[in-house]
Amino acid sequence: MRSVFVNPERCIGCLQCEFACAVEHSATRSESAAFLETPMPRRRVHVEPGPIPTLSFPNQCRHCDPAPCLQVCPSGSISRNQDLGMVLVEPKRCIGCAMCAVVCPFDAVTFHPLADGPGDGIAVAVKCDGCVDRVDRGEEPACTEVCKVDALVFGELNELVAAGRLRAAGVVLAAVGATPVEPLGGSPLAGWRAWGAARVVAAEGAGTWHSGNGSPASNGDKGERS
């Protein structure tokens, strides 16, 4: 099953995915005219802050299977495209109860009035539809098409996960190669032997100091002989 895969460590927070998503779901499909539409077209992907101020990540619907939002929807406005596996919302049937947003584990559902909604000013559930029309035409979703850093990629999920694991393994191996590491076959007693050798050197040094001229031990000996 082909789907959108997120590489959060690559996101630079440029918001190009949000812009492309909003334009794709506009009536005009025009970058210069979409923002003039009423109601304004809404993005389905949301770039959110990461764990530290310099990081961000694109958050969107994961099209869960089973999907909690589909299971709790009382109006039947949420369904699954069996061919593509996408969880879709029919805006005209949505009653805005927000049950889908309550159970969504990824906080991926928002509510806004839409041009194809039940009426003017009525907020309905808005979520990623996987650009199902584009995928049907053999194209990739708008967000992955514009992402220049591969924070969002489109393809077979298992292949994308395998590629991610290989990339992570390469980073680890590169880090290990740059850091001196003791061979695994070293003696487990090496530390104890080094400690023993250090004690011998310290003892010899102490003996030399006590027997030398001007030491407390030698002064004491001179006092006794006088």
Q: Where are the domains of the chain?
A: 1-59+129-178, 61-127
Percent of the chain whose pLDDT exceeds 70:
81
- Per-residue pLDDT band for 202 (boundaries 50, 70, 90) equals confident
The model carries a pTM of 0.70
User: Rounded to an integer, what distance in angstroms lies between the CA atom of residue 72 and that of residue 100?
Assistant: 7
Q: Say what the pLDDT of residue 177 is.
A: 66
Q: Say what the pLDDT of residue 9 is.
A: 84
- Per-residue pLDDT band for 210 (boundaries 50, 70, 90) equals low
User: Rounded to an integer, what distance in angstroms lies between the CA atom of residue 97 and that of residue 188?
Assistant: 65
Give, in words, the CATH class of 61-127.
Answer: alpha beta
Kindly state the average pLDDT of the residues 44-63.
89
Q: Say what the pLDDT of residue 11 is.
A: 93
Using the predicted structure, report yes or no on whether residue 26 has a pLDDT greater than 80.
yes
Using the predicted structure, report yes or no on whether residue 71 has a pLDDT greater than 90.
yes
Residue, of 150 and 182, whose pLDDT is higher = 150
Mean pLDDT of the chain: 84
- By CB atoms closer than 10 A (0-12, 13-18, 19+), residue 178 is exposed
Kindly state the average pLDDT of the residues 144-170.
84
Which CB contacts under 8 angstroms, 24+ apart, belong to 52-59? 55/8, 55/9, 55/11, 56/11, 56/12, 56/13, 57/6, 57/8, 57/11, 57/151, 58/6, 58/8, 58/11, 58/17, 58/143, 58/151, 58/152, 59/6, 59/106, 59/107, 59/108
Q: Say what the pLDDT of residue 191 is.
A: 64
Q: Say what the pLDDT of residue 194 is.
A: 73
- Per-residue pLDDT band for 218 (boundaries 50, 70, 90) equals very low
1-59+129-178 classified as CATH 3.30.70.20:
yes
- Per-residue pLDDT band for 158 (boundaries 50, 70, 90) equals confident
